[in-house]
Amino acid sequence: MHCNSFSRQHRFSLHVAMTALTLLLLGLLAGCAATSSAVTSKLPDWRSWTVERKIAQMLLLGFPGETITPESPISVAIREHGVGGVVLFDNNADLGVTERNISNPAQLKRLITDLKASAETPIFIAVDEEGGIISRLKERYGFPSTVSASYLGEKNDLNLTRSSSDRLVDTLVEYGFNLNLAPVVDLSINPANPVIALKQRSFSADPALVSAHAAEVIASHHRKNIVTCLKHFPGHGSSRDDSHVGFVDVTDSWSEKELLPYKNLIGQGVVDSVMTAHTFNTHLDPDYPATLSRNTIDGILRTRLGFDGVVISDDLYMAAIVQHYSYETAVEKAINAGVDLLILANDKLYSPDIAPRTIDLVVKMVESGKISRERIDQACGRIMKLKARYLFE
Catalytic residues: 244, 314
Please give the Cα distance from 160 to 305 (Å, whole number): 30
Of the candidates 270, 295, 271, 297, the residue with the CA atom closest to the CA atom of residue 284 = 295
| SS3 label, residue 279 | strand
Please give the Cα distance from 284 to 305 (Å, whole number): 14
Which residues, at least 6 apart from 278, have a Cβ–Cβ distance to it below 8 Å?
A: 243, 248, 289, 290, 291, 314, 318, 320, 321
- Residues 321, 291 contacting (CB under 8 angstroms): yes
Please give the Cα distance from 346 to 337 (Å, whole number): 22
Give me the torsion for CA of 45, 49, 55, 61, rounded to 10°: -70
Please give the Cα distance from 342 to 332 (Å, whole number): 11
- Which H/E stretch holds residue 229? none
- Residues 5, 347 contacting (CB under 8 angstroms): no
Of the candidates 272, 260, 261, the residue with the CA atom closest to the CA atom of residue 226 = 272
Identity at 336, one-letter amino acid code? N
- Residues 207, 260 contacting (CB under 8 angstroms): yes
- Cα angle: 39, vertex 344, 211; to 5 degrees: 60
Please give the Cα distance from 105 to 381 (Å, whole number): 34
Residues in the chain: 393
Please give the Cα distance from 307 to 289 (Å, whole number): 19
Q: What is the DSSP letter of 59?
A: E
